[in-house]
Amino acid sequence: MAPCRLLQVGWGLRRPCGFRLAAALCAAAVVALALASASDATSSSFLGINYGRVGNNLPQPQFVLPLLEGLGIGRVRMYDADPNVLRAFARTGVELVVGVPDECLAAVADPGGAAQWLKQSVVPFLPDTKIAVLTVGNEVLTGANSSALSRTLLPAMWSLHGAVASLGLDKQITVTTAHNLGVLGTSYPPSAGAFRKDLLPFLCPILDYHARTGSPFLVNAYPYFAYSGDPRGVQLDYALLEPAYPGVPDPNSGLHYPNLLVAQVDAVYHAVAAANTAASRVVEVRVSETGWPSAGAVNETGATPQNAARYNSNAMRLVAEGKGTPLKPGVPLRAYVFALFNENLKPGLASERYYGLFKPDGTPAYELSFKLPRENSTFGHGGGGGGFGGNGNANGSSGYSGGNNGYYDISAAPRDPPVSSDSTVLSQLFLLLAIMI
Domains assigned to the chain: 40-436 (3.20.20.80)
Q: Which of 262, 270, 257 is nearest to 183 (CA)?
A: 270
CA–CA distance, 218 with 135 (Å, rounded to integer): 9
Q: Which residue numbers are catalytic?
A: 139, 289
- Cα distances from 152 to residues 80, 104, 155, 200, in angstroms, run 18, 10, 6, 15
Determine the Cα–Cα distance for residues 63 and 352; give it in Å rounded to an integer.
23
d(CA 22, CA 44): 35
Between CA 329 and CA 324 the distance in angstroms is 4
Dist CA 435 CA 207 (whole Å): 43
**Following CA atoms 285, 289, 292, 293 in sequence, which dihedral angle do they give, to the nearest 10 degrees?**
-160
For residue 100, give the H/E element and its range.
strand 95-100
pLDDT of residue 153: 98
Mean pLDDT by runs of 10 across the 437 residues of the chain is 46 32 37 38 76 98 93 95 98 97 97 98 98 98 94 98 98 98 97 98 98 98 97 97 97 98 98 97 98 97 98 96 96 98 97 98 95 63 53 29 26 32 40 41
* pLDDT of the residue at 60: 96
Q: Is 244 exposed, middle or buried (0-12, 13-18, 19+ CB in 10 A)?
A: exposed
What's the pLDDT score for residue 336? 98
pLDDT the model gives residue 14: 30
What is the structure's pLDDT at 260?
Answer: 98
Nearest to 167 by CA among 38, 10, 28: 28
Q: How far is CA 190 from CA 255, 268, 436, in A?
A: 9, 8, 54
The pLDDT score that the predictor gives to residue 44 is: 60
For residue 72, give the 3-state DSSP assignment.
coil
Secondary structure of residue 387 in the 3-state scheme:
coil
Q: How far does the chain reach from its first CA to its final CA, in angstroms?
A: 31
Question: Could you give the CA distance from residue 151 to residue 312 in angstroms, rounded to a whole number?
Answer: 35
- pLDDT of 344 reads 98
